[in-house]
Amino acid sequence: MTFTRRSLGYAAGGLALAALLAWWAWPSPRVVETAVVGKGPVQVTIEEDGETRAIDRYGIASPVNGRLMRVSLREGDLVKPGQIVAEIAPTPLSAADRDLLVARLESAKALEAEAFDRVRRADADAAQAVREKKRVADLVAGKFMSPQALEQAESAVSMKSADLAAARSRAVSSAADVRAAQAALTSVRANAPTVRVDSPVSGRVLRIAEKSERVVTPGTILVTVGDPSALEVAVDVLSNDAVRVKPGMRMLLTGWGGEEIEAVVRTVEPAAFRKVSALGVEEQRVWVVADFKAVPPGLGDAYRVDARIVVAEKADALRVPAGALFRRDGKWHAFAVEGGRLVLRVVEPGLRGARDVEIVSGLAQGAQVVLYPGNDLAEGARVVARR
């Protein structure tokens, strides 16, 4: 009987030791980052740096060769049409130089005529857009067209109005160039001691190229005048991104020192330009120009902004963080956590934003998924969420 009890004791101790060794050798659950599948907005955006600029900016240039007198204006000063902004003492001109001034005057007159033709065409386009909007509004009211058609018509009216305003501004600038060329020629013929350069419009001085006296040539920008409260934003994007941008799309602006601002894309310029990136790579880029819905106080001309152009969005999509998805065998997958173990799910993504991805199928709302899964994770593995 004693021998039996001793044997049973040894057996129990062996079993306890084996259980302890098995528990010690059994792999512990992996600690993983997780997220919950939920509903919320998903935005597909193009993110680039941008810059604000005055919509009606006028670079007042020197009409003659000569010595620029010291400019007395300062940045921020208010100027009126016809106000003298600079004076130039012209150098004696030869007959060839006089002929050049005559040719420049004729060229300025031709550009002025073209500018006023553009105003008439833009005026006709704006009137046509207003009439088209009225027709679309009547059809929408009769439920023959969708409300989106009216939104597009209103956007067209806004863009045509902006084109008309820009055409009128160019016409004003062209007329000022004619006056400047005429004044230069008149002063040379009359042997005037100085040529006075005036402002073509009212506004504030945005920039003075050089305050001190110096020698200038025809076409040298002396003073830039504009309205600092009438701003637009220009963003240069890659040409393969520009094809996805359309007028009327939203643009969200941050990084300027205040809260997020909303703007609306007005135009995507038709021609690209070449730019060398910080890494030395040549890129083809395109200017995208947008209008502010409201210009916040403190924002001025040539301010840097971080721009996000929203090319697609859903306000209430089933979404997961982008880091939860990975490719395997040509399909998108995600690891779901069920009962403390990993379950591999094949998912169909929809809109893919920079931070979140829409889930069309494969995951249900409230499911727990692993973020940034490593290659060593496998289906059925025991995991625990990091707290």
Annotated domain spans of the chain: 30-42+315-385, 45-52+229-313, 56-226
Task: Give, as one character, the DSSP assignment of residue 294.
Answer: S
64-78, 94-108, 337-351, 354-368: segment of lowest average pLDDT: 94-108
Confidence of residue 188 (pLDDT cuts 50, 70, 90): low
Query: Is 222's pLDDT higher than 60?
Result: yes
- pLDDT number for residue 266: 93
Which of residues 87 and 23 earns the better pLDDT score? 87
**Dist. CA 330–CA 319, nearest whole Å:** 21
Query: Is 215's pLDDT higher than 90?
Result: no
Which of residues 257 and 16 earns the better pLDDT score? 257
**Dist. CA 346–CA 330, nearest whole Å:** 11
- pLDDT number for residue 247: 93
Query: Is 1's pLDDT higher than 50?
Result: no
Average pLDDT, the chain: 86
Architecture label for domain 30-42+315-385: Beta Barrel (2.40)
Query: Is 375's pLDDT higher than 50?
Result: yes
Strand bridging mode 331-338 / 326-328:
antiparallel
Confidence of residue 256 (pLDDT cuts 50, 70, 90): very high
Task: Give, as one character, the DSSP assignment of residue 69.
Answer: P
Query: Is 346's pLDDT higher than 90?
Result: yes
Architecture label for domain 56-226: Beta Barrel (2.40)
Superfamily of 45-52+229-313 according to CATH: Efflux pump adaptor protein, beta barrel domain (2.40.30.170)
Domains 30-42+315-385 and 56-226 share a fold: no
The arithmetic mean of pLDDT across residues 102-126, rounded, is: 87
- pLDDT number for residue 6: 64
CB burial of 352-378 (b: ≥16 within 10 Å; e: otherwise) equals: ebeebbbbeebbeeebbbbbebeeeee
The arithmetic mean of pLDDT across residues 202-225, rounded, is: 88
CB under 8 Å, gap of 24 or more: what pairs does 207-210 form? 207/75, 208/71, 208/73, 208/74, 208/75, 210/68, 210/71
The arithmetic mean of pLDDT across residues 117-131, rounded, is: 89
Residue 89: strand, helix, or coil? strand
